[in-house]
Amino acid sequence: MKPIYLTAFLLAACAAHPNPADSAPPPPATPEQPAPVVQSVSTIPTAPVTELSRYGWHITRIGRHPANGSLEFKANHHVHASFGCNTLSGNFSHQGQNLQIGELATTLMLCPPNVQAQEERLSAAFARTTAYRINGNKLELLDRRQHVLLQAEPVQSMR
């Protein structure tokens, strides 16, 4: 047998093989180790979290400035927004109509000045958001004095 074939054969024999136990699903919960309890998210009579996460939102206004971006509140409490350049994302929490949006992560692409300005206004609006309401079919993010920081309309095709 040629040395090259022997070497290849020996290397193949020594290669790590996946352990079937590693790919098996985890065992079911036992009485000593109960399954995790999933608690339901509190709902808001006029605008439950399902209304936040049921739709994607088209951002139409931030403060007094017209805007053109997308906003998505996911059922797992992640929020994503974009104006066609960078993506801003973070976590949110709510109780009743109170809404807190955590610190955002963003991609760092160089964007046109008007898009960059919208991204900066959105970050500032998110930082000041303390509540939300659904007014007709519009989502409004509010500050502590109930001033409208952002307006958005539902869109069906974001998912």
Domains and CATH numbers, the chain: 62-154 (2.40.128.270)
Q: How far is CA 78 from CA 6, 24, 103, 150, in A?
A: 54, 30, 11, 18
Q: Per residue of the chain (159 residues), what is the pLDDT tens digit?
A: 555 544 444 444 444 444 444 445 555 555 454 444 333 333 333 445 578 888 899 999 999 999 999 999 999 999 999 999 999 999 999 888 999 999 999 999 999 999 999 999 999 999 999 999 999 999 999 999 999 999 999 997 544
Q: How is residue 3 annotated by DSSP? A: H
Q: Which two tokens stand for residue 110?
A: 């160089």
Please name the residue ranges forming H helices in the chain.
3-14, 20-23, 49-54, 113-128
Residue that is written with structure tokens 């996911």 in the block: 74
Per residue in 26-43, pLDDT (tens digit) is 555 554 544 443 333 333
